Amino acid sequence: MAAAPPLFDEIVEEILARLPPDDPATLLRAALACKQWARLVSGPGFRARLRALHREAPMLGFLCDLRGDDDGAISRFVPTSSFRPRRHADRRGMSKLCKLPMLPRRAQSWSAAVLCGCADAAGACDGCHLGPFRVVYVGTDADGIFSCVYSSLDGAWSEPASAEHPEHPHMPRIRALVGDALHFLFQASASILRYDLGARQVSVIQRPPACTDFQGRPLLMTMEDGRLGFASVLNSRLCLWPREVGADGEARWAQSRAIDLETLLPADALWALPYLIGFADGVGVLFVWTAVGGLFLVNLGSGLLRNVDIDRDIYGVVPYVSYYIPALKISAEGDGAEPSAGASEPQVLLQGL
């Protein structure tokens, strides 16, 4: 019986692109099935098909700081999928750190964020991670709050933009990029700082009225529709507030959702108030830390809960959200399922998108 003709490349790409993007090992096994599949997975057309089909890249893990035995910090990458970052035996070949010029103004306390320089006016990036970048620096001093931006294209800082703030709080570590504005949350204050990247202006907005007691370590987030959101734990309930513009043109907070953590988390995890320590934009995942149960990932879209095995106190998380596919060096001879005589086996390399 004659063998069935091979499928067209477009059909194979469509099938492979529908494999779960949050499990890179599945795609790697498929790519090793034959040279045709390996060639298609490694090609630029497959990357474009992945982005068009799935829209948002999956979260493959996160970077975090763990409390060490001597009260110091231990930085670690925690995988949430089959993805594992490549380990370097030494520092040779690693990218050099970029040294920025002196800031135009000194700060008593500060925070910063690194943004892709190819982002459009809506703050969206095409996922290149290889182009120019911007560093947004926000600080406080005796005169109030100020912010300035470093551009890798210009190689210089912008002139500082200032705003008055009578409380002079310590700078936050929690921030959210919404549209063309970067927002910073003051943990020990009722204020949120908004920095407009286009106009380079600093302004201050207030927290939701129900969240001024500073409990539960609230955080800022990006809602599914792209609006600025505020999350906090109040009386064992995870409450979400989007910021919306009313009919009168004024922006205000409006509670949209409350999740009962008593029915979601194990009973012993709630003997102390849980902390919100991070949010993964694009995938809608909240990081909830509990003193007994450890770290839980709450998917706001599906309602699913996942416990991450971490045996130390954790503070600060940076989600790693990206497509990750195998890049295979294959022989140029044929596309059959079996390698030709003398042809080398596919060599596996991994690359992020």
Which distant-in-sequence residues (6+ apart) come within 8 Å of 249 by Cβ? none
Neighbours of 303 (CB within 10 A): 9
Give the amino acid at 241: W
Q: What is the pTM of this model?
A: 0.76
Q: Can you read off the two tokens belonging to residue 312?
A: 């130390």
Each residue of 293-310: pLDDT tens digit? 888 999 888 888 888 888
Bridge-based pairing of strands 73-79 and 59-67 is antiparallel
Domain ranges of the chain: 9-52+326-352, 102-206, 213-321
For residues 267 and 25, what is the distance between their CA atoms, to the nearest angstrom? 35
Band of the pLDDT at 157, cuts 50, 70, 90? very high
% of the chain at pLDDT higher than 70: 77
For residues 23 and 17, what is the distance between their CA atoms, to the nearest angstrom? 12
CATH topology of domain 102-206: Lipocalin (2.40.128)
Specify the range with the lowest mean pLDDT, choosing from 253-257, 278-282, 344-348.
344-348
Specify the range with the lowest mean pLDDT, choosing from 17-31, 147-161, 314-328.
314-328
Q: Note the pLDDT of residue 349.
A: 40
Q: Flag whether pLDDT at 315 surpasses 50.
A: yes
Which distant-in-sequence residues (6+ apart) come within 8 Å of 258 by Cβ? 237, 238, 239, 240
Q: Flag whether pLDDT at 282 surpasses 60.
A: yes
DSSP state of 310: -
Q: Flag whether pLDDT at 272 surpasses 90.
A: no
Which distant-in-sequence residues (6+ apart) come within 8 Å of 315 by Cβ? 64, 65, 67, 73, 277
For residues 46 and 56, what is the distance between their CA atoms, to the nearest angstrom? 15
- Own/partner contacts of 64-67, CB < 8 Å, gap of 24 or more, are 64/310, 64/314, 64/315, 64/316, 64/317, 64/318, 65/314, 65/315, 65/316, 66/310, 66/312, 66/313, 66/314, 67/312, 67/313, 67/314, 67/315
Q: Is 1 helix (H, G, I), strand (E, B) or coil?
A: coil
Please compute the mean of the pLDDT values over residues 161-176 and round it to a whole number.
Answer: 66
Q: Flag whether pLDDT at 10 surpasses 90.
A: no
Which distant-in-sequence residues (6+ apart) come within 8 Å of 223 by Cβ? 229, 240, 242
The answer to whether 169 touches 189, Cβ cutoff 8 Å, is: yes
Q: Note the pLDDT of residue 261.
A: 87
Q: Flag whether pLDDT at 334 surpasses 80.
A: no
The answer to whether 123 touches 104, Cβ cutoff 8 Å, is: no
